Amino acid sequence: MERKYNFNTVVNRWGTDSVKYFDGTELLPLWVADMDFPLPEEVLSVIKGRVDHGIFGYTRTGSSYWKALDSWCRSEYGYKVKPSEWVTVPGIVYGLSIAIRAVTEPSDAILIEQPVYYPFSQIVKDNNRKLIVAPLCYKDGRYTRDIGAFEKAIRENNVKAFILCSPHNPVGRVWTKEELVAVAEICRRYDVTVIADEIHCDFIRPGIKFTSFATLGDEYKQKLILCTAPSKTFNLAGLQVSNIWVPDTEIRKKFKRENRANGYNEVNTLGMTAAEAVYTLGKPWLIQLKAYLEGNIAYVKDFLAQNIPSVYLVESEGTYLLWLDFHGTGLSNQEIKDRIENKAKLWLDHGDMFGEGGECFERINIACPRSILEQAMNRLKRAFK
Ligand X SMILES: Cc1ncc(COP(=O)(O)O)c(C=O)c1O
Q: Please, what is the minimum distance in Å from the beta carbon of residue 342 to ligand X?
A: 25
Which range, of 156-164, 174-182, 210-218, 229-237, touches ligand X by CB under 6 A?
229-237
229 contacts ligand X (rule: CB under 6 A):
yes
Q: In the bound complex, what is the minimum distance in angstroms from residue 90's beta carbon to ligand X?
A: 8
242 forms part of the interface with ligand X (CB under 6 A): yes
Query: Shortest approach of ligand X to residue 116 CB, angstroms?
Result: 8
323 contributes a contact to ligand X by CB under 6 A: no
Measure the CA–CA gap between 2 and 186, rounded to whole angstroms: 47
Which residue, 199 or 340, has its beta carbon nearer to ligand X?
199
Q: Which stretch binds ligand X (CB under 6 A): 50-58, 66-74, 91-99, 350-358?
A: 91-99
Our finding on whether 231 is near ligand X (CB under 6 A) is yes
One-letter-per-residue 3-state SS of the chain: CCCCCCCCCCCCCCCCCCCCCCCCCCCEECCCCCCCCCCCHHHHHHHHHHHHHCCCCCECCCHHHHHHHHHHHHHHHCCCCCHHHEEEECCHHHHHHHHHHHHCCCCCEEEEEECCCCHHHHHHHHCCCEEEEEECEEECCEEECCHHHHHHHHHHHCEEEEEEECCCCCCCCCCCHHHHHHHHHHHHHCCCEEEEECCCCCCECCCCCCCCHHHCCHHHCCCEEEEECCCCCCCCHHHCCEEEECCCHHHHHHHHHHHHHCCCCCECHHHHHHHHHHHHHCHHHHHHHHHHHHHHHHHHHHHHHHHCCCCEECCCCECCEEEEECHHHCCCHHHHHHHHHHHCCEECEEHHHHCCCCCCEEEEECCCCHHHHHHHHHHHHHHHC
**Which residue lies nearer to ligand X by CB, 92 or 277?**
92
Q: Does 317 bind ligand X (CB under 6 A)?
A: no
Question: What is the number of alpha carbons within 13 Å of residue 178 lying toward its C-beta?
Answer: 2
Q: Residue from 36, 108, 113, 197 that binds ligand X (CB under 6 A)?
A: 197
Judged by CB, which is closer to ligand X: 296, or 365? 365
Residue 91 CB, nearest approach to ligand X (Å): 3
31 binds ligand X (CB under 6 A): no
Alpha carbon distance 172, 210 (integer Å): 12
Given 77, 117, 279, 312, the residue binding ligand X (CB under 6 A) = 117
Q: Which of 5, 31 has the CB closer to ligand X?
A: 31
Q: Is 198 in the site for ligand X (CB under 6 A)?
A: no
Closer CB to ligand X, residue 367 or residue 383? 367
- Nearer Cβ to ligand X, position 121 or 169? 169
- Please identify which residue in 169, 235, 243, 280 interacts with ligand X, judged by CB under 6 A: 169
Contact region with ligand X (CB under 6 A), list: 87-95, 145-153, 187-195, 298-306: 87-95
Instruction: Rule CB under 6 A: say whether 259 interacts with ligand X.
Output: no
Say whether residue 377 binds ligand X (CB under 6 A). no
Positions touching ligand X (CB under 6 A) are 33, 91-93, 117, 165, 169, 197, 199, 229, 231, 237, 242
